[in-house]
Amino acid sequence: MGSNQTDDSLNSGGMPDSPIVFNYEDPTSFIASLLMIINGLFGVVCNTLIIYIFLKERKERTAFNVICMVRAFVNLYVLTTNHLGLFVPMTLTGKPIVSKTLETWAICMSNSLYMANEYLTVVIALNRFISLFFPLYYAKLCGMKPTIVILIVMYAYRIGAVTRETIEYTAIDCYVLYYVEFLSWTPDFSPQCLSNSGILLFMAVNFAIVSVFNVATFLKIFKFYKNQKQEDRESRKRIKKNVYLFIQTVMQDSLYLVDISFTFYFFSFYENRFWTFFCGTFVWQSLHSMDGFIMIMFNERLSFLKKQLFQPLASKVTFIRVSQAPSRTQSQAS
């Protein structure tokens, strides 16, 4: 999500007292730009592949893959509009490239879509829970139509909310801007601009809900391995497949925990430009890049990565074609 805090006293370890132009001639700015370009392009490739596979392969057009495709599209939007399209040019030139209003719209929209993607962690965890505990109702509750309706409602709400909030925010001359002095974005801390967004409470509740579903899923899988001989053949196939889905879900969920930890906790450890860049900008960007990479690892059409990175687990779990059973990126039959 990136940084939402900064301090004007941030002048030690990279913030000299004398005026200086922070552009490509500054080593920290140059290295930060290079890291954002490499990380951003990596994320663009990963997320573009997920979207391409969904559009190209008819068998990939399942309810679960709709979630992955939308998630990849949001990742792609944030990476291209914010990091590659806005932060990198500003870091290299040392000055704004668009108006304050447009910059605020770009950052606020990206953060709102980031929040919508976090909503998806609950949807995904619930999807896995229903697949394991109520398989007979899976098609009805987690099929293509219900999934599309949920996605439309979620993203429409977030886009509508951020539109209203940004209009009100900029109307009183408040802005959310990226500062090359800190290599991170921050909202306006003027008295008239301060508001209680409740973001930490939301994230805590969201994390608690996801944790409950994930723990239940884990216990179901653990029970399966403990009593394998008592399960029928189809149940074994379904639950074995969910081992991979569970791993993917946990890996994607952990990205948000890492991002929030750096944004609200580790950020204050050091008063250093590169540290604020790492905590407030690079970790946020990495979340969207790694999210796409994780989806690629578990995509059947690109399963060579999965087999290379998870060979020990692959020796125990049998993969099933999309026409036979679902996967974390293949949803309707799980």
Domain boundaries of the chain, sorted by first residue: 27-314
How many Å apart are CA 296 and CA 127, to the nearest integer? 19
Residue with tokens 């949803």: 331
Q: Which listed CATH number (3.40.50.720, 3.40.140.10, 1.10.10.60, 1.20.1070.10) goes with 27-314?
A: 1.20.1070.10
- pTM of the complete model beyond 0.75: yes
Q: What mean pLDDT is predicted for residues 106-131? A: 87
Question: Tokens at residue 242, please?
Answer: 């969910």
Residues in the chain: 334
Angle at Cα 56 formed by Cα 52 and Cα 62, nearest 5°? Answer: 90
Q: What is the pLDDT of residues 223-279, one digit of tens each?
A: 776 666 555 666 666 666 667 777 877 888 888 888 888 887 888 788 889 999 999
Tell me how far apart the alpha carbons of residues 88 and 183 are, in angstroms, rounded to a whole number: 10
Percent of the chain with pLDDT over 70: 78
Task: Answer yes or no: are the C-beta atoms of 82 and 111 closer than 8 Å.
Answer: no
Q: What is the mean pLDDT of the chain?
A: 80
Please list the residues that pair with 178 across neighbouring strands. 185
Please give the average per-residue pLDDT across 180-188, as a whole number: 90
Residue 13 pLDDT > 50, yes or no?
Answer: no
- Rg for the chain (alpha carbons), in Å? 22
331, pLDDT greater than 50: no
Amino acid 230: pLDDT: 54
Token pair in block for residue 257: 């925990």
Contact predicate 77/116, CB 8 Å:
no
Residues 5-30: what's their mean pLDDT? 64
pLDDT tens for residues 29-67?
999 999 999 999 999 999 999 999 888 887 777 787 888
Q: For residue 6, is pLDDT > 70?
A: no
The residue with greater pLDDT, 111 or 3, is 111
Tokens of 181: 């002095």
The residue among 112, 85, 304 whose CA lies nearest residue 199 is 112
CA separation (Å) from 299 to 59, 242, 304? 12, 14, 9
pLDDT at 197: 65
Q: What is the pLDDT of residue 184?
A: 92
